[in-house]
Structure 1
Amino acid sequence: MTVRDWQGEADARARACLTAVAPPGDLWLGAMLAEHGAAGVWAGLVAGEPPPSVPVEEDEDPDPEAWARLRRRWDGWSAAAARVDPDGLLGESAAAGIRFVAPGDPEWPGRLDGLDLPGGRRSHGLWVRGGGDLRNLCLRSVAVVGARSATAYGEHVAAEMAYELAEQDVVVVSGGAYGIDGAAHRAAHANGSTVVVLACGLDVDYPRGHAGMFADIARTGVLVSERPVGATPRAKDFLIRNRLIAALTPGTVVVEAGRRSGALNTASHAVELHRVLMAVPGPVTSAMSVGCHVLLRDWQAGCVTCADDVVAQVGAVGELPPESGPVRVSAHLDAESARVLEAVPRAGAGPAVVAAASGTSLDVAMRSLGLLAAAGLVERCRAGWRLPR
């Protein structure tokens, strides 16, 4: 059996197509997928069939007007589904170096399962770009977020904190925006790996000024999105995206935030998901620190000023695995993963080299490396992947 069996492949293919027609985190779609499976829901959309009967969000028996709105939503998805070419979507994504990761895949981050709680906006699947393994990177991670219109103080604190977190093998997750996000990504990437969560297709550089940074990060880290190739960001997508930033990590640090900053939205998701919430204090005269002070005063956020504070806050509740050695889980290797493991040298090699040596495709090699990393059988290094020391 390969990493995905044929049923899993059909489910992942359907989920990839659904990202092209339905908004991320849709509660109704999530309920349908849980009840009927992605392949069945997608087949119904393509065929123009009526929506399957499932509980509608929190209302078991919606009134006729509410059902009419849902039916119009379904009909819109169905019309869009008729225009989707699954082979073209997956082929264009692969050509851009973008892969699709579905729930149950070796690279799927287990923390996202927290979004499956009642009322949670679960993720239907993720588009991933980069040489890192998403699940492995998120095992020991922290979100660092804040204002786009950051002050010099905020960018300095974010950069210093991210650099020191990377020094302690903690991966920084953020949203790729200007200001605090960008400062954190650049510093973390300079000393380790980082994860960028975007609200657009991964072939769309937004913001445009971070195109070079995104390309650099993709070499060792990853870029993640719920939107397919070619999708440009819409205002509502940023708020929906923020729940992923909070869900992927055991803790979120807000470095700077105005009273209406989007970083406060990420903070609210962290609280809902029972993650550790932290904030950096700033000058009482700074409008960019008002949101942080609200978090400290009213939300009982932990007060942090450096990386050691962050690790102490998150580690205190046992959410950060120890630095010494990879996290190990039980694993029964399939034939392809076993070949990939045999092809990994002790000195380390990139995924393309491992794929060629094992006689597998790059996509299969990367998925197998993710499974092997989760089992503690391989680990990241500067050259790519190596056997653990």
Structure 2
Amino acid sequence: MRERLARVTLMRLAEPGDAVMGRLVASCGPEAAVEQVRRRVLDLEFVRWFASTRRGRPAEGTGEADARLDRILAAWAARLEAADPAGDLAAGERAGARLVVPGEPEWPTQLDDLLDSRPHALWLHGQANLRFACIRSVAIVGSRAATPYGAHVAAEFGAGLSERGHGVVSGGAYGVDGAAHRGALAGGTPTVAVLACGTDVSYPSAHHDLFEVVRARGLLVSESPMGVRPTRPRFLVRNRIIAALARGTVVIEAAVRSGALNTAGHAVALNRILAAVPGPVTSDTSTGCHRLIRQGAATCVTTPAEMAELVGAIGSDLAPEPRGPVLPRDRLAPEVRRVLEAVPARAGAGPAVIAVEAGVDLETVLSCLGGLAAAGYVEKTSRGWRLCPEKPSSG
């Protein structure tokens, strides 16, 4: 219980993704980290580590590093005075949320790949189990100002991946995020929305009903305490959790300056699979996707099956190769097709001429022509054999 209280306190002291606080916790544990902030005295080894990270920066020597660390410590201490971990736990319970911390059964161990930026704890609100929901999952991200094309593709990917047994992780925002969640809800696996605010805050407010359904059939996730409102930095920082939870990320519509590209960067840094869906070359909202593909950072995917193949086990989840329609003439024997190709479209030709053109003997031509005529491919005229008008040679 003491560790849980300490971690809830840390969620108030430092901003999400604060790697300095993350290193302090990693070096001495959450309870000792809170105590050091309370005493305003940090371990000497940690101070030396911080100074080493500042070396080589312009106009920042040991004295400047010490001053910077003093300012960081003062900010943590100021927040500590207002922290009420017991109150935060009670507020979470009242809201129907639950706290999960590293080492507990529901904690997804892939978050440990974030190292010093790993969340201290997570608030979860919903029926699904976070660890199980993310064992086999894909993150779908993209533009908030999605075009009808982007919203359609996101919904198709959400539904298609869910039908194939993949959980869908996204950020609950307008545009691609919302469409991906809605598509996933049509499938059989949970969808996980990682928020930049408390799980009791509906942001955007228009997604209040969507979040209610996600709570019932999936999970809302946040590293912020109850009541915390979103800020622009928190949107960007939460993207690392989206990328870390999933086995792969697919970007559907992203402008050159897009938060989705920030998620893509985290996916690459974490050695996760990254894919992108192409769009119209005239669309600014697909420029970021095209750049990822062109630079070789992302694999081009066009269907949920192709994304499932990327993140699936080797030899399984293989996507079918795109094929054109099978035409009736495709089922003809090779020899019969050769004879058919040799029959002229307009002017008739005799069997001997057709035999020379097809490169087969006369007996074979006569046999094939009879069958082709019965099937309606060719007809006999006064000038010889020709293709039937309703069966053009390009068919």
- TM bracket (short chain): 0.7 to 0.9
Match for residue 49 of structure 1 among 12, 32, 40: 40
User: Structure 2 CA distance, aligned partners of 1:195 and 1:226?
Assistant: 14
Does the Cα contact within 8 Å between 2:142 and 2:251 map onto a contact in 1? yes
Q: Please name the residue that 2:324 is paired with.
A: none
Q: Please name the residue that 1:27 is paired with.
A: 19
Q: CA deviation at 1:43?
A: 2.3
User: Structure 1 CA distance, aligned partners of 2:211 and 2:286?
Assistant: 27
Q: Please name the residue that 1:281 is paired with.
A: 278
- Relative to structure 1, the CA distance from residue 57 to residue 275 in structure 2 (aligned partners, 3 Å threshold; closer, same or farther) is farther
Q: Please name the residue that 2:9 is paired with.
A: 17
Q: Please name the residue that 1:150 is paired with.
A: 146
Classify the secondary structure of the residue corresponding to 2:6.
helix
- Give the TM-score taking structure 2 as reference length: 0.75
* Range with greater deviation from structure 2 (53-62 or 81-90): 53-62
User: Structure 2 CA distance, aligned partners of 1:236 and 1:264?
Assistant: 15
Q: CA deviation at 1:48?
A: 3.5
Q: Please name the residue that 1:128 is paired with.
A: 124
| 1:176 has 2:197 as partner | no
Unaligned runs of 5+ in 1: 1-8, 321-389
Classify the secondary structure of the residue corresponding to 2:35.
helix
Aligned-residue Cα RMSD (Å) equals: 1.8
| 1:105 has 2:104 as partner | yes
Q: Please name the residue that 1:138 is paired with.
A: 134
Q: CA deviation at 1:316?
A: 5.2
- Give the TM-score taking structure 1 as reference length: 0.76
User: Structure 1 CA distance, aligned partners of 2:256 and 2:40?
Assistant: 46
User: Structure 1 CA distance, aligned partners of 2:278 and 2:214?
Assistant: 29
User: Structure 1 CA distance, aligned partners of 2:271 and 2:52?
Assistant: 21
- Relative to structure 1, the CA distance from residue 58 to residue 294 in structure 2 (aligned partners, 3 Å threshold; closer, same or farther) is farther
Match for residue 293 of structure 2 among 292, 296, 309: 296
User: Structure 2 CA distance, aligned partners of 1:52 and 1:213?
Assistant: 46
User: Structure 2 CA distance, aligned partners of 1:318 and 1:175?
Assistant: 31
1:101 partner amino acid: V
Match for residue 311 of structure 1 among 296, 304, 308: 308
User: Structure 2 CA distance, aligned partners of 1:303 and 1:311?
Assistant: 13
Total equivalences in the alignment: 308
User: Structure 2 CA distance, aligned partners of 1:21 and 1:290?
Assistant: 39
Which 4+ residue blocks in structure 1 deviate beyond 4 angstroms? 316-320
Does the Cα contact within 8 Å between 1:125 and 1:226 map onto a contact in 2? yes
1:34 partner amino acid: A
Classify the secondary structure of the residue corresponding to 1:279.
strand
Q: Please name the residue that 1:73 is paired with.
A: 72
Does the Cα contact within 8 Å between 1:202 and 1:223 map onto a contact in 2? yes
Does the Cα contact within 8 Å between 1:27 and 1:57 map onto a contact in 2? no
Unaligned runs of 5+ in 2: 56-60, 318-395
Does the Cα contact within 8 Å between 2:51 and 2:65 map onto a contact in 1? no
User: Structure 2 CA distance, aligned partners of 1:41 and 1:12?
Assistant: 13
2:32 partner amino acid: G
User: Structure 2 CA distance, aligned partners of 1:251 and 1:244?
Assistant: 12
Does the Cα contact within 8 Å between 1:20 and 1:228 map onto a contact in 2? yes
2:4 partner amino acid: A
What aligned pairs does 1:340-359 form with structure 2 within 5 A after superposition? none
User: Structure 2 CA distance, aligned partners of 1:304 and 1:208?
Assistant: 32
Q: Please name the residue that 2:355 is paired with.
A: none
User: Structure 2 CA distance, aligned partners of 1:317 and 1:17?
Assistant: 43
Classify the secondary structure of the residue corresponding to 2:82.
coil
2:94 partner amino acid: A
